[in-house]
Structure 1
Amino acid sequence: MIRVNFKSHNKEVVCSKGENLLEIARNNKIFIDAPCNGNVSCGKCKVKLLKGKVDTEKTLHIKDEEWEQGYILACNTKVIEDIEIEVPSKLSSSMHGMKIEGSDKKKDQEIFDRAKK
């Protein structure tokens, strides 16, 4: 059996080798946004692999920089050994990459940080 630690949810679950990461999360009541229902077509199920190795491929939904930082798509990932995952909060993932013309980045970040609490 393989252990998947969802660090962001402070929850560790056990699964079988080769199971799909998105399905593991769903089966354990951990929300990962996936409007395409796991068809690798929207990129919303992006999570960060903190420890361990998985069977996955880089897709057009993950930038080179993100890939180097450990970001993967949960729907396109099979678990092959013990791993640790960080699931971005829904607020965080919806704000990712958002630009507001003429905005004050520092002030926007402060507002965003307060909203996360």
Structure 2
Amino acid sequence: MPEVEFLPDGKRVNVRAGLTLLEAARQAKVAVRTRCSGGLSCLMCKVRVVGGVEGLTEPKQAEKAKLGALEAQGYRFACQARVTGAVTVELPEDPLKAAIRAQLKRQQEEEDLW
């Protein structure tokens, strides 16, 4: 059974070959943002493959078209990439967490001025 690792949490899960990264994430209880539940219509489930790219199926033409230049940077849609071997993917930071982190950083910088 192929192993999928999800960064930055480092969660790992062994999955049956042929499952999508989205299904693997659900098995690992890792949140991947999506609205369409795997229809390649919301474009929210982008992940970056950082290891074992050969452990995924090749992207189909529809996925390639929607990824554009991001494909060359290692991005895939979790709802489309099927696991065939060991792979490590990096999940993007949740936008709400990113906004909160940025606000806290600004506040800290303001406090440092005093």
TM-score over 0.5 for the alignment?
Answer: yes
Contact 1:48 1:72 in 2 (8 A): yes
> How much does 1:111 deviate?
3.5
When the two chains are superposed, the root-mean-square deviation of aligned CA atoms in Å is 2.6
Q: How many residues align?
A: 100
State which of 67, 71, 75 in structure 2 corresponds to 1:62: 67
State which of 87, 95, 100 in structure 2 corresponds to 1:83: 87
State which of 71, 75, 80 in structure 1 corresponds to 2:75: 71
Contact 2:21 2:81 in 1 (8 A): yes
Amino acid at match of 1:55: T
Contact 1:42 1:61 in 2 (8 A): no
The Cα offsets for residues 5-64 of structure 1, whole Å up to 9 and x where unpaired, read as: 112121111111111110110122100011011101111000000111211413333122
Unaligned runs of 5+ in 2: 107-114
CA–CA separation in structure 1 for the residues paired with 2:104 and 2:19: 34
Name the structure where helix makes up a greater proportion of residues. Answer: 2
Using the size of structure 1 for normalisation, the TM-score is: 0.74
Unaligned runs of 5+ in 1: 96-109
Using the size of structure 2 for normalisation, the TM-score is: 0.76
